[in-house]
């Protein structure tokens, strides 16, 4: 038995339990690989203060084999570090510090390399360049899963140097190595067994959502079919750099505290407490020591377990200020609005960023964006897939094609699309003119076919999209627990609200509490749920205001249509009554009786003088009384004023354009709201 | 082919309609008054629009709640309650439009010196509202109440708007009248009688000579035929009228004029049932719908001579003529007993009470079970002689 006992290396453990890292199936493996590489690139760029630009390329090597390469224009990596970063699990710069970043443990990219090695036998390749004149370092790295150590396979274990000149370029071409010419940067290539599929949980979706949460980053993406997509940065400034903080005493567990006391090099308890933790002043340190019955001069290393436990209890009994929150950097309301507008063809956008809060001593911040309108599922259709579908369709008319091919359109929706795209309703799909095809594509991508959809939720943690385990995530749970009917949205109790709603929620923290190592769902800490709820309530309330106002405008519009229909009849009838000798006589009599005041300059002052109507004036009065057009215009003026609400239009920042509008509500002038003009 | 002819005739009628407008028509002073009211209505719409007000009509309410009994004049009177009809109100916009249409239609009729039935006016005004296919009026049922609204709004009788209802009711008797210039001797009307027109205003009908002593108004045609055939009016020197059930306005107005202008007493011979009581009430006090015109339509002095609840026994009628009262009858009778003009009259209370106790009602024709001319030779003459009637 004792002989069978043996140390297990982490890499061995994860090779057997790959699902823990997000490699449960071939499809997810592809996504996780891309994700780990992109997350690393983004972190590297931001830490170096470089606006991220990232190239993602997926090549299909065989039916179930793909080569993923991700390059950034980041700072590059010191050659010595490369094998360790890419060939050793749990090696990284992010685990031991408390600073907001995408990666945390240092498992991701090496695990991806290990997965590739396991499934294809091909090692991972890294190209890296740290400055203009430096050569590109080329490494082929393999992880030895038994010992969790890297093995460099090229250049006798030292890698190769490719000079940064034409000679080097020729060398790259010769070795068939892809490299985007950048001043500095890193490119990692992994070949793995995987499956490429569009739609939910796909690489495409991940990149799109990442672009949404990182408006300062530019992405270039070439998918396995050779299609190129670019997400241009919409912000030209890096988000403020997150500040690294010491742990807060409240967030430390007893075991961790024990470990810290053993490892510290501080000579006294007071020094240990004030310098290893944030928010601990000498006074607070003294108070803790006093409560624990420990001298503040005691050497932390000499304390036994019981004493440390006393210190731990003393910490919870002492009032310590909340950690400072400049260590978390939100995306920001205006960036969320801009990002959502890029992706969702909605009518109403709103964002809310909560002030920072603390859970278990970890500062965090919650942001929520909401878009209303648009139909995400059909709207994501691409030119190619539409072309393909049209070619394959056996529907006789385009209307039939639309109804049969897409979920949730229905006959009404199809008619709406056809009408809006101005295509011939009975045209057979293959016989559409190029103009009609373009119009259809554009309409499908932009037309709002609301109602009957359920909310799409984009979840983010530290700007990384969470694409799986939606129901286990605190964000989804909080959305479902809320009563959205309060805001005029349909909802079955305990479900996601129904309607053309897209919610984006971002959780930013120095330490995100994931439910598993694959970082797919946030744990539902009460403090986190509370902040989420407050943010959702803020955007929900504004959505409610918008929906109410839209309903009112709609009603006014249909009311006006009713009035408009009858006004000409009324004008005709009134004009008819005013016709004929008898009516003319009355009109003339009354026009004559009406006193006219005329201003007359007399002795430098204007004096009003009454005078009788002239024959011309009387004739005009008769003529006007009998003109149904004249009467119509008069009635129209009243009708327009009466239904003025229907005329209200909004400019880009959601302000009413009409300066005379009497009604103002909270949405006006709110910078966290964007309303698309319905013109 | 047939279709096109039809179309052609239609358009010629239309053309002639407008030709008439251009022909000078001499307006009566009454017509001028009505025209001015219509003119004011239209002028008010324009004036409200010019002031940037929402055009609105204040239409006197035609409901039981807005009707009261004037004890002094002994007629129903309309109160001052009005309901607003607003143009910019979704539920009223269409009827506002219809009201102006009816007013303009009446104006055209007045100007042309023509009258038409309410059905005719409905057709005159019915067309599609361009560019929709929505008709101005869906059916006549939609038009009739608007006409009534116009009457109260303009304070003008339907007849003054040159509209008439169906003719219902005949007259014979010792009276000579002039109807639209034609002299008519109502004692020489054969078996059919003179059909009372819907418009009986002095401008249309003048009384030339009257020898009659009173008017006997019976409920329906069958009874009237009996009296006419037996030449009751000759023997008793009276005028005989009927209104085919609830008398139309023409008949009511004529009774009113015969009473007020010729000082003739009016006697009513109606069924012994709640409906008969109600007809009497309308003749005597006026109706809710026309409460604004009660003084011209109602005859408070009219008397009720029969049939009475006591008549089954008194006249020795046979068992077979009884018609049992229905629940509706009982309910209706109790309502009528509560009418302010009946509630303080002991005789009427006793009368209605007796009917309810009897549990049956009687039609005037029941008297025929005694003998065919019992009603003309014995029943009515005796009551008239004895002055035995309800007031």
Element containing residue A446 per DSSP (H, E) = helix A434-446
User: What is this model's ipTM?
Assistant: 0.73
Residue B338 inside a domain? The answer is yes
| Residue B281 and residue B381 in one domain | yes
Cross-chain residue pair B52–A586, CB shorter than 8 Å: no
φ, ψ (nearest 5 deg) of residue B346: -65, -40
pLDDT, one tens digit per residue, over B1-40 is 344 444 444 444 444 445 544 556 788 888 899 999 999 9
What is the C-alpha to C-alpha distance for residues A15 and A10, in angstroms, rounded to an integer? 8
B269 shares its domain with B379: yes
Mean residue pLDDT of chain A comes to: 81
pLDDT value of residue A19: 77
Residues A544, A488 contacting (CB under 8 angstroms): yes
Q: Is B273 a member of any domain?
A: yes
Distance, in angstroms, between A564 CA and closest chain B CA? 10
Q: Provide the pLDDT for residue A659.
A: 42
pLDDT of residue A488: 87
**Residues B223, B338: one domain?**
yes
Mean pLDDT of A609-624: 80
User: Does the beta-carbon distance from A566 to B129 stay under 8 Å?
Assistant: yes
Tell me the pLDDT tens digit for each residue of A550-598: 887 777 777 778 888 888 899 999 999 988 888 888 888 888 877 666 6
CB pairs under 8 A between A and B: 95
Dist. CA A346–CA B349, nearest whole Å = 75
Same domain, B188 and B316: yes
Kindly state whether residues A58 and A82 are assigned to the same domain: yes
**Top-confidence residue, B26 or A485:** A485
Same domain, A50 and A113: yes
Note whether A184 and A80 are same-domain residues.
Answer: yes
- Residue-wise pLDDT for A631-672, tens only, equals 888 888 888 877 765 555 544 444 454 444 444 556 767 777
pLDDT at A653: 43
Q: Are B236 and B349 in the same domain? A: yes
The predicted-structure confidence for B261-312, as pLDDT tens digits, reads as follows: 999 999 999 998 999 999 998 998 888 777 777 888 889 889 999 888 888 8
Give the length of chain A.
Answer: 679
- My answer on whether A190 and A262 are in the same domain is no
Residues of B with CB under 8 A from a CB of A: 21, 24, 27, 32, 35-36, 38-39, 41-43, 45-46, 48-50, 52-55, 87-88, 90, 93-94, 96-97, 100-101, 103-104, 107-108, 111, 129-130, 132, 134, 136
pLDDT band at A352 (very low <50, low <70, confident <90, very high): very high
A649 and A532 in a common domain: yes
Q: Which of B164, B181, B206 is the last residue of a domain?
A: B164
pLDDT tens, residue by residue, B81-112: 888 888 888 788 889 999 999 999 999 999 88
Residue range B123-133, pLDDT digits in tens: 999 988 887 88
Q: Could you tell me the pTM of the whole model?
A: 0.57
Q: Is the pLDDT of residue A450 over 60?
A: no
Per the domain annotation, does A628 fall within a domain?
no
**What is the domain-level CATH number for residue A358?**
3.30.230.10
Residue B16: the pLDDT is 45
Residues B151 and B196 in one domain: no
- Tell me if A573 and B100 make a contact (CB, 8 A cut-off): yes
In a domain? residue A532: yes
pLDDT at B22: 54
CATH number for the domain harbouring residue A426: 1.10.8.50
- A186: pLDDT confidence band, cut at 50, 70 and 90? very high
A580/B107 touch (CB, cutoff 8 Å), yes or no: yes
| Range(s) of the domain holding residue B30 | 10-164
Task: Give the pLDDT mean for A615-629.
Answer: 85
Is B2 part of a structural domain of the chain? Answer: no
User: What's the structural domain count of chain B?
Assistant: 2
Q: Tell me what percent of the residues of chain B surpass a pLDDT of 70.
A: 94
Nearest residue of A to residue B93 by CA position?
A563
d(CA A283, CA B257): 112
- Mark whether A293 and A338 lie in a shared domain: no
Asked if the Cβ–Cβ distance from B54 to A577 is below 8 Å, we say no
Q: Does A619 fall in a domain?
A: no
Q: What's the CATH number where B239 sits?
A: 3.40.1360.10
Give the max Cα distance, chain A: 128
Q: Which residues of A touch B96 (CB under 8 A)?
A: 566, 570
Give per-residue pLDDT as tens, A281-336: 899 999 999 988 888 888 888 888 888 888 889 988 888 887 777 778 888 888 88
B123 and B238 share a domain? no
Domain endpoint, select from B109, B133, B164:
B164
Highest mean pLDDT (candidates A77-91, A136-150, A409-423): A136-150
Q: Report pLDDT digits (tens) over A196-210.
A: 876 667 888 889 889
Q: Which two tokens stand for residue B170?
A: 């005949």
Mean pLDDT, chain B, integer: 85
CA A304 to chain centre: 49
In chain B, which residues have their Cβ closer than 8 Å to the Cβ of A561?
none
Write out B196-251 in H/E/C secondary structure.
CCCCCCCCCEEEEEECCCEEEEECCHHHHHHHHHCCHHHHHCEEEEECCCCCCHHH
Cβ contact (<8 Å) for A574 and B42?
yes
Q: Is the pLDDT of residue B259 over 90?
A: yes
For tokens 């260590």, name the residue.
Answer: A327
Domains in chain A: how many in total? 4
Same domain? A291 vs A199: no
pLDDT of A57 above 90 = yes
Across the interface, whether the CB atoms of A569 and B96 are under 8 A apart is answered no
- Binned at pLDDT 50, 70 and 90, residue A100 comes out as low
| B29: in domain | yes
Question: What residues of B are in contact with residue A573 (Cβ under 8 Å)?
Answer: 42, 97, 100-101, 103-104
Model pLDDT, residue B14: 45
B144 and B219 part of one domain: no
A360, part of any domain: yes
If pLDDT is split at 50, 70 and 90, which confidence band does A81 have? confident
Higher pLDDT, A89 or A532: A532
Looking at beta carbons, which residues of chain B come within 8 Å of A565? 129, 132, 134
Q: Do B49 and A638 touch (CB under 8 A)?
A: yes
Task: Note whether B77 and B104 are same-domain residues.
Answer: yes
Q: Is residue B46 part of a domain?
A: yes
Q: Are residues B302 and B344 in the same domain?
A: yes
Both tokens assigned to A137: 């370092």
Please tell me which residue of chain A has the smallest CA distance to B53.
A638
Residue A474 pLDDT class (50, 70, 90 cuts): very high
Pairing of β A501-509 and β A362-372: antiparallel
Residues A532, A548 share a domain: yes
Structure token digits, residue B153:
């709004």
Phi, psi of A175 (to 5 degrees): -85, 0
Both A153 and A270 in a single domain? no
Q: What is the pLDDT of residue B170?
A: 92
First to last CA, chain B: 64
* Residue A661 pLDDT: 43
Asked whether residue A87 falls in the same domain as residue A217, the answer is yes
Q: Tell me if A325 is assigned to some domain.
A: no
* Annotated catalytic residue B379: no
Distance CA B123, CA B117 (A): 10
> Is B3 inside a domain boundary?
no
* CB < 8 Å to A590, chain B: 43
Confidence at residue A106, expressed as pLDDT on a 0 to 100 scale:
59
Q: Provide the 10 A C-beta neighbour count for residue A22.
A: 26
* Cα of A179 vs its chain's centroid, Å: 30
Same domain for A173 and A260? no
pLDDT at A13 over 90: no
- Structural domain ending residue among the three candidates B101, B136, B164: B164
Min distance A548 CA to chain B CA atoms (Å): 20
Whether B374 is in a domain gets the answer yes
pLDDT for residue A47? 85
Provide, as residue numbers in chain A, all residues whose Cβ is less than 8 Å from the Cβ of B130: 568
Of B39, B55, B87, which is closest to A583 when you measure between CB atoms? B39
Please indicate whether, in this complex, the C-beta atoms of A562 and B93 are within 8 angstroms of each other: yes
- State percent of chain A over pLDDT 90: 13
Question: Are A553 and A454 part of one and the same domain?
Answer: yes
pLDDT at residue A459, as a whole number = 92
Nearest chain A CA: its distance from B128 CA (Å):
10
pLDDT band at A408 (very low <50, low <70, confident <90, very high): very low
Range in A120-129, B119-128, B335-344 with the lowest mean pLDDT = B335-344
Q: What is the Cα–Cα distance from A310 to A331, expressed in whole angstroms?
A: 41
Residue A69 clears pLDDT 90, i.e. is over it:
yes
Mean pLDDT, rounded, for A465-484? 89
Q: Quick one: average pLDDT of A483-498? A: 87
Boundary (domain end) residue, out of A428, A446, A464: A446
The contact set of A with B (CB < 8 A) is: 559, 562-563, 565-566, 568-570, 572-574, 576-578, 580-583, 586, 590, 625, 631, 634-635, 637-639, 641-643
Q: State the average pLDDT over residues A259-268.
A: 86
Query: Quick one: CA dihedral A525, A530, A531, A536, positive or negative?
Result: positive
CATH number at residue B89: 1.10.10.10
Domain final residue pick, A293, A317, A341: A317
Cβ distance of B136 and A569 shorter than 8 Å = yes
- At residue A622's C-alpha, the angle toward residues A621 and A623, to 5°, is 95
Asked whether the beta carbons of A36 and A139 are under 8 A apart, the reply is no
pLDDT, position B7: 42
Spot the catalytic one: B39, B122, B123, B339: B123
Q: Which two tokens stand for residue A254?
A: 């007893």
Instruction: Give B162→chain A minimum CA distance, Å.
Output: 15
Specify whether B54 is located in the same domain as B192: no
What is the pLDDT at residue B13?
Answer: 43
For the ranges A111-120, A384-393, B348-357, the lowest mean pLDDT is seen at A384-393
- In this complex, the residue of B32, B45, B136 whose CB is nearest that of residue A574 is B45
What is the predicted pLDDT for the residue at A449? 60
Residue where one domain finishes, among candidates A398, A429, A446: A446
Query: Which residue in A has a C-alpha nearest to residue B106's C-alpha?
Result: A577
**List of chain A residues whose C-beta atoms are within 8 Å of the C-beta of residue B88:** 563, 638-639, 642-643
Q: Show the tokens assigned to A317.
A: 């009994």
- Is the pLDDT at A392 greater than 70? The verdict is no
Nearest-CA distance B366 → chain A (Å): 54
The residue range of the domain holding A216 is: 10-231
Cross-chain residue pair A563–B88, CB shorter than 8 Å: yes
Q: Could you tell me which residue, A178 or A243, shows the higher pLDDT?
A: A178
- Phi and psi at A493, nearest 5°, equal -50, 130
User: pLDDT digits over A419-444, tens only?
Assistant: 888 888 788 887 888 888 888 888 87
Q: Which residue of A has its CA nearest to B51?
A: A638
Cβ atoms A124, A113 nearer than 8 A: yes
Average pLDDT over residues A470-487: 91
Regarding whether B210 and B142 lie in a shared domain, the answer is: no
A556, part of any domain: yes
Average pLDDT of span A47-76: 91
């Amino acid at each position: 038995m004792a002989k069978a006992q043996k140390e297990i290396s982490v890499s061995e453990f994860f090779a057997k339990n790959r699902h823990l890292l997000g490699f449960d199936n071939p499809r997810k493996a592809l996504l996780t690989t891309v994700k780990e590489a992109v997350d690393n690139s983004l972190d590297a760029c931001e830490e170096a203060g470089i606006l991220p630009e990232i190239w993602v390329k997926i090549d299909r090597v065989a039916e179930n084999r793909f080569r993923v390469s991700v390059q950034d224009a980041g700072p590059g990596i010191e050659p010595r570090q490369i094998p360790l970063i890419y060939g050793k699990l749990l090696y990284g710069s992010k685990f031991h510090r408390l600073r907001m970043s995408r990666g945390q443990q240092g498992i991701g990219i090496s695990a991806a390399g290990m997965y590739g090695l396991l499934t294809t036998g091909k090692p991972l390749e890294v190209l890296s360049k740290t400055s203009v004149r430096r050569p590109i370092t080329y490494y082929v790295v393999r992880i030895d899963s038994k010992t969790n150590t890297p093995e460099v396979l090229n250049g006798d274990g030292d890698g190769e140097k490719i000079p940064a000149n034409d000679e080097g370029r020729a060398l790259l071409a010769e070795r068939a190595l892809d490299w985007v010419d950048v001043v500095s940067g890193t490119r990692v290539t992994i070949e793995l067994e995987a499956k490429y599929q569009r739609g939910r949980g796909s690489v495409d979706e991940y990149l799109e959502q990442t672009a949404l949460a990182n408006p300062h980053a530019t992405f270039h993406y070439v998918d396995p079919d050779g299609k190129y997509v670019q997400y241009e940065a919409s912000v030209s400034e890096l988000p403020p750099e997150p500040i690294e903080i010491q742990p807060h005493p409240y967030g430390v567990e007893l075991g961790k505290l024990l470990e810290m006391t053993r490892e510290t090099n501080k000579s006294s308890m007071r020094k240990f407490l004030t310098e290893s933790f944030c928010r601990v002043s000498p006074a607070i340190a003294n108070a803790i020591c006093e409560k624990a019955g420990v001298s503040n001069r005691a050497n932390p290393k000499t304390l036994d377990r019981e004493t440390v436990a006393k210190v731990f209890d003393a910490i919870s009994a002492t009032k310590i200020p909340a950690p400072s929150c400049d260590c978390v950097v939100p995306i920001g309301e205006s960036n969320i609005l801009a990002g959502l507008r890029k992706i969702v063809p909605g009518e109403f956008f709103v964002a809310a960023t909560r002030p920072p809060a603390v859970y278990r001593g970890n500062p965090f911040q919650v942001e929520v964006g909401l878009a209303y309108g648009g139909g995400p599922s059909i709207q994501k259709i691409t030119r190619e897939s539409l072309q393909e579908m049209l070619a394959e369709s056996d529907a006789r008319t385009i209307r039939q094609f639309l109804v049969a091919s897409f979920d949730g359109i229905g006959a009404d929706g199809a008619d709406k699309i056809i009408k809006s795209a101005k295509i011939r309703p009975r045209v057979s799909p293959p016989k559409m003119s190029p103009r009609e095809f373009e119009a259809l594509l554009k309409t499908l991508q932009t037309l709002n076919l609301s109602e009957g959809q359920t909310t799409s939720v984009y979840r983010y943690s530290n700007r990384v999209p969470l694409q799986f385990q939606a129901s286990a995530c605190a964000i989804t749970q909080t959305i479902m627990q809320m009563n959205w009917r309060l805001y005029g949205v349909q909802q079955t109790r305990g479900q996601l609200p129904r309607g053309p709603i897209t919610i984006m929620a971002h959780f930013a923290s120095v330490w995100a509490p994931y439910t598993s190592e694959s970082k797919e769902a946030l744990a539902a800490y009460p403090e986190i749920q509370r902040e989420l709820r407050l943010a959702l309530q803020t955007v929900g309330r504004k959505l409610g205001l918008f929906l109410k106002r839209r309903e009112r405008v709609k009603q006014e519009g249909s009311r006006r249509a009713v009035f408009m229909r009858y006004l000409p009849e009324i004008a005709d009838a009134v004009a008819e009554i005013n016709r004929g000798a008898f009516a003319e006589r009355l009109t003339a009599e009354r026009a004559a009786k009406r006193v006219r005041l005329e201003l007359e300059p007399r002795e430098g002052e204007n004096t009003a003088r009454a005078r009788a109507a002239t024959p011309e004036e009387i004739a005009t009065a008769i003529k006007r009384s009998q003109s149904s057009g004249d009467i119509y215009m008069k009635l129209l003026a009243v009708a327009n004023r009466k239904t003025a609400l229907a005329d209200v239009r909004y400019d880009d920042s959601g302000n009413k354009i009409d300066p005379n509008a009497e009604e103002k509500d909270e949405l006006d002038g709110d910078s966290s709201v964007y309303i698309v003009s319905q013109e | 082919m047939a279709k096109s002819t039809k179309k052609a005739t239609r358009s010629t009628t239309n053309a002639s309609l407008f030709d008439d407008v251009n022909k000078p028509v001499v307006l009566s002073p009454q017509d001028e008054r009505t025209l001015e009211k219509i003119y004011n209505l239209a002028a008010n719409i324009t004036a409200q629009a010019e002031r940037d007000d929402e055009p609105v009509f204040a239409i006197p309410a035609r409901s039981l709640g807005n009707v009261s009994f004037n004890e002094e004049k002994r007629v129903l009177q309309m109160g001052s309650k009005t309901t607003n009809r607003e143009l910019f109100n979704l539920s009223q916009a269409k009827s506002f439009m219809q009201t102006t249409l009816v007013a303009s239609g009446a104006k055209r009729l007045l100007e042309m010196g023509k009258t038409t039935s309410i059905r005719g006016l409905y057709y005159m005004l019915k067309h599609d509202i361009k560019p929709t296919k929505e008709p101005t009026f869906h059916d006549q049922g939609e038009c009739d109440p608007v006409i009534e609204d116009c009457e109260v709004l303009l304070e003008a009788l339907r007849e003054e708007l040159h509209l008439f209802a169906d003719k219902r009711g005949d007259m014979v008797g010792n009276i000579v009248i002039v109807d639209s210039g034609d002299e008519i001797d109502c004692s020489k009307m054969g078996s059919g009688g003179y059909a009372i027109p819907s418009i009986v205003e002095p401008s249309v009908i003048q009384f030339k000579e009257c020898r009659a002593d009173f008017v006997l108004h019976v409920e329906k045609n069958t009874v009237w035929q009996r009296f006419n055939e037996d030449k009751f009016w000759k023997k008793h020197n009276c005028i005989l009228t009927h209104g085919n059930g609830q008398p139309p306005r023409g008949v009511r107005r004529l009774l009113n004029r015969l009473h007020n202008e010729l000082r003739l007493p009016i006697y009513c011979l109606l069924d012994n049932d709640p409906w008969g009581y109600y007809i009497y009430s309308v003749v005597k006090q006026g109706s809710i719908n026309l409460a604004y015109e009660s003084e011209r339509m109602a005859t408070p002095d009219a008397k009720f001579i029969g049939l009475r609840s006591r008549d089954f026994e008194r006249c020795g009628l046979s068992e077979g003529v009884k018609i049992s009262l229905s629940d509706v009858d009982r309910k209706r009778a109790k309502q009528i007993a509560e009418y302010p003009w009946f509630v303080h009259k002991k005789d009427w209370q006793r009368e209605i009470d007796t009917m309810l106790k009897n549990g049956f009602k009687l039609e005037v024709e029941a008297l025929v079970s005694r003998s065919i001319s019992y009603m003309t030779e014995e029943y009515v003459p005796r009551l008239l002689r004895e002055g035995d009637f309800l007031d």
